[in-house]
Structure 1
């Protein structure tokens, strides 16, 4: 399959909207809020499914990027939106850390949002510019031990799962590294490609296009086993660091009280859109995703586990949002 760029995804979304004036007449626009800046994997996933949702829901679907405060600004907008089936949240794994990360959060993630679907996940990976010396996680650990605080890594922000994974790595290996938080995966990639940061931790989804293009090189993955698409990339466990697993995930939520038929309709539309052969290939090959497409209860159960796991890391290390 030819490589599908974000520009192509945007073009498809625009073409769908322009080609469907009749759809507009059938209903008001449906808004999918992405609480991060454009350029990251969450934005790409939202724009990838938007055309299919437009076709299946009978109304134009608009992606609304509302970045800031570790994703809490956009999430708050959805939590306070009318539960009428017109506003939805498509967010990233850092959603699980919001309550622990921001003590004065203006909403309650558990009480004010209803789960809709766990779309899927992708392992976190470490990547660097090809001319950097890191070829394995062992190289990073040895460099950090030899020169404490001089090895730098980028993430998508304080308290994100990538950052917390590196906090755990430093604790397990008794090393100190310098963390550079960015507002999105796209910005972290840009500085890593430019060599302004030694390496970055990000989902395989956001890193893969640049690895394929030769501007980044991956050297470790944090999944429980090797991702089939990254079969030559060792896991951290294979390097001798056990129990340090981290996978990115994307989930969809609705304002609390959204009618169950509306939630069920969105869940079904998402499954159909994601099951389209071209969309599925893009998710699996370009986004490096393992599709799950859960029911609402499945996302709720999964989120409880993530909140318990990563919230503890935030509290134990006194981490706060940017």
Structure 2
């Protein structure tokens, strides 16, 4: 007869119980509708460890890029509303319905709001040897030479592009738009001088401004970003009512139980409040943390959809 020690017996029981524990803690999926390496992907991976700890299950980031973010968003809209699938997306979410009228889902009806994580202002930047020292200088140059001043963005219909469309409308100017597939490509051509300036989120632009390869000269936030405290907002420079911020929001498939939404909202808030995470969001993403309630995100998105959707339709803009 083989005798089993108490320690061995406990070890065997733990091994037998492990599959049941893993089954109960099935992986939670955060879908990012963009390729790895962008700011949305970075935010998702930053909060994933804290969510894993607080939700009691592994949290995995699932990148589903394509079609201006609509492919990954569609996957979440059609997922089971069981609290296992979530969407972490970017400001382009507000323009999906206007840019892509044949969407296979309805962003308003098929997704429930969870949290507005925060925002970062859009910023105009140029190569240091370019003559633009202010937004006023850009407007004057564009008026003197219609279509001669060029700007880069991360694509047709992006919030950066639409912001410049509004700027041209407000100032009666015409500029040449050069759409790029990513912020990195826009930065490269701006640093090389192939494009006069670029508009990008502070997260994209600030590291290059700090290193001296780009010079920032306007920010579109409601107030000055602490990292760009010497840089006036566009309103302070004399063009009021023209604000644009990049933002990150979390959504759930419509019908996800409210207790699951509340639990995710609380876990996100606690994770984003960790000193390391908060500092990274503020210093790397240049984010103004909001950490809203689900209802506040719902109201915010409705306002963004109305604002930017109108710009898309009135100017007959289509996605790349």
- Report the CA distance shift for 1:269/1:153 in structure 2 as closer, same or farther (over 3 A): same
CA contact under 8 A between 1:23 and 1:58: conserved in structure 2?
no
CA contact under 8 A between 1:53 and 1:273: conserved in structure 2?
yes
**Alignment partner of 1:76: what SS?**
helix
- Report the CA distance shift for 1:89/1:310 in structure 2 as closer, same or farther (over 3 A): same
- Report the CA distance shift for 1:260/1:34 in structure 2 as closer, same or farther (over 3 A): same
CA contact under 8 A between 1:10 and 1:47: conserved in structure 2?
no
- Report the CA distance shift for 1:223/1:31 in structure 2 as closer, same or farther (over 3 A): same
Aligned partners of 1:229 and 1:101: how far apart in 2?
Answer: 33
- Report the CA distance shift for 1:15/1:278 in structure 2 as closer, same or farther (over 3 A): farther
What is the deviation of 1:37?
Answer: 2.5
Aligned partners of 1:7 and 1:99: how far apart in 2?
Answer: 61
**Alignment partner of 2:318: what SS?**
coil
- Report the CA distance shift for 1:192/1:296 in structure 2 as closer, same or farther (over 3 A): same
Greater shift, 117-126 or 78-87, is seen at 78-87
CA contact under 8 A between 1:90 and 1:251: conserved in structure 2?
yes
Q: Deviations over 1:300-322 (max 9, x none)?
A: 01111111111111111111111
**Alignment partner of 1:121: what SS?**
strand
- Report the CA distance shift for 1:199/1:9 in structure 2 as closer, same or farther (over 3 A): farther
- Report the CA distance shift for 1:136/1:38 in structure 2 as closer, same or farther (over 3 A): farther
Aligned partners of 2:190 and 2:275: how far apart in 1?
Answer: 33
What is the deviation of 1:19?
Answer: 20
Please report the TM-score for the alignment, with normalisation by the length of structure 1: 0.88
**Alignment partner of 1:115: what SS?**
strand
Aligned partners of 1:40 and 1:18: how far apart in 2?
Answer: 41
Q: Deviations over 1:183-212 (max 9, x none)?
A: 333333333334332221111122222222
Please report the TM-score for the alignment, with normalisation by the length of structure 2: 0.89
Q: CA RMSD of the aligned region, Å?
A: 7.5
What is the deviation of 1:248?
Answer: 1.4
Q: Deviations over 1:208-265 (max 9, x none)?
A: 2222232222110011221222110111122211211111111000111112122111
- Report the CA distance shift for 1:38/1:214 in structure 2 as closer, same or farther (over 3 A): farther
CA contact under 8 A between 1:117 and 1:299: conserved in structure 2?
yes
Greater shift, 212-221 or 145-154, is seen at 145-154
Aligned partners of 1:172 and 1:7: how far apart in 2?
Answer: 76
**Alignment partner of 2:302: what SS?**
helix
What is the deviation of 1:148?
Answer: 2.2
**Alignment partner of 2:166: what SS?**
helix
- Report the CA distance shift for 1:302/1:142 in structure 2 as closer, same or farther (over 3 A): same
CA contact under 8 A between 1:70 and 1:157: conserved in structure 2?
no
Q: Deviations over 1:38-91 (max 9, x none)?
A: 332212211211121122222222222222222112111111122222221111
What is the deviation of 1:157?
Answer: 1.8
- Report the CA distance shift for 1:19/1:205 in structure 2 as closer, same or farther (over 3 A): farther
Corresponding residue for residue 301 of structure 1: 299
**Alignment partner of 2:96: what SS?**
helix
- Between the two proteins, the alignment pairs up a number of residues equal to 317
**Alignment partner of 1:224: what SS?**
coil
Corresponding residue for residue 171 of structure 1: 169
Corresponding residue for residue 54 of structure 2: 56
Aligned partners of 1:78 and 1:131: how far apart in 2?
Answer: 46
CA contact under 8 A between 1:40 and 1:186: conserved in structure 2?
no
Structure number with bigger Rg:
2
What is the deviation of 1:10?
Answer: 37
1:67 aligns with 2:65: yes
What is the deviation of 1:15?
Answer: 28
- Report the CA distance shift for 1:145/1:34 in structure 2 as closer, same or farther (over 3 A): same
- Report the CA distance shift for 1:58/1:275 in structure 2 as closer, same or farther (over 3 A): same
- Report the CA distance shift for 1:178/1:18 in structure 2 as closer, same or farther (over 3 A): farther
Greater shift, 188-197 or 212-221, is seen at 188-197
Corresponding residue for residue 256 of structure 2: 258
CA contact under 8 A between 1:118 and 1:294: conserved in structure 2?
yes
Gaps of 5+ in 2: none
- Report the CA distance shift for 1:82/1:128 in structure 2 as closer, same or farther (over 3 A): same
